[in-house]
A and B are shown apart, each in its own frame.
Chain A
Amino acid sequence: DGGITQSPKYLFRKEGQNVTLSCEQNLNHDAMYWYRQDPGQGLRLIYYSQIVNDFQKGDIAEGYSVSREKKESFPLTVTSAQKNPTAFYLCASSAAGTGSRGEQYFGPGTRLTVT
């Protein structure tokens, strides 16, 4: 089955530690996205990538980093510089590349708790 997988589902970390969230897709999509969702809120874009080895900051990139070494994978690192890292993190992909209008699909999400 084609889809997007995120792991782990739940993640607990101590303050001051970096943590990496995994996102893999087998939809052959060019574009991938990371969003953050806080309780009762909408989704905010952290980073996005439209092609391998290239990515752009979204609206709330401070304290996060990403890489896009393979088309299928777009891991997100939450660094110790992120002031409020506890949140629900969602990864998405779409067939949209530059100039395209593809439909976006989401993974199941990772709930990160930092204490």
Chain B
Amino acid sequence: GIQVEQSPPDLILQEGANSTLRCNFSDSVNNLQWFHQNPWGQLINLFYIPSGTKQNGRLSATTVATERYSLLYISSSQTTDSGVYFCAVLYNFNKFYFGSGTKLNVKP
């Protein structure tokens, strides 16, 4: 299979701060997604980003496929950003592999 590693595993921020989450993967992938898991367990799609840079409001993501990593940027964090952030990669066109997640806690 493929190894997907996320860092940091835990992150505590004060409201308004910025943060960068990282996802490294050990082989070439067909696509990459970032998800936010809310406190009720629902996985919310943030970005579908096999390469390049995308932005959506306060969130942006960059994937450098040739160097096998992706970054998720959260600016001006809010308490509602709290939860777990996962990256997932599609490998060999059939199976998705997930990282172990970054648990974010934004304090008011």
Contacts and interface: CB of A to CB of B under 8 A. Distances in A.
Interface of A: 33, 35, 37, 41-45, 48, 50, 56, 58-59, 88, 90, 92, 96, 98-106, 108-109, 111
A106 B44 CA distance: 8
Interface of B: 1, 30-31, 33, 35, 40-43, 45, 48, 50, 86, 88, 90, 93-101
Contacts, number: 59
A59 B3 CA distance: 13
Contacts of B45: 103-105
Interface of A is mostly: strand
A104 B33 contact: yes
A35 B86 CA distance: 14
Contact of A104 (B40, B42, B96, B100): B96
B6 to A, nearest CB: 8
Given A48-B94, A90-B43, A96-B93, A101 B100 contact: no
Given A48-B95, A106-B42, A109-B41, 13 more contacts: A33-B96, A43-B86, A45-B97, A56-B94, A92-B43, A96-B93, A101-B30, A101-B50, A101-B90, A104-B45, A104-B96, A106-B43, A111-B41
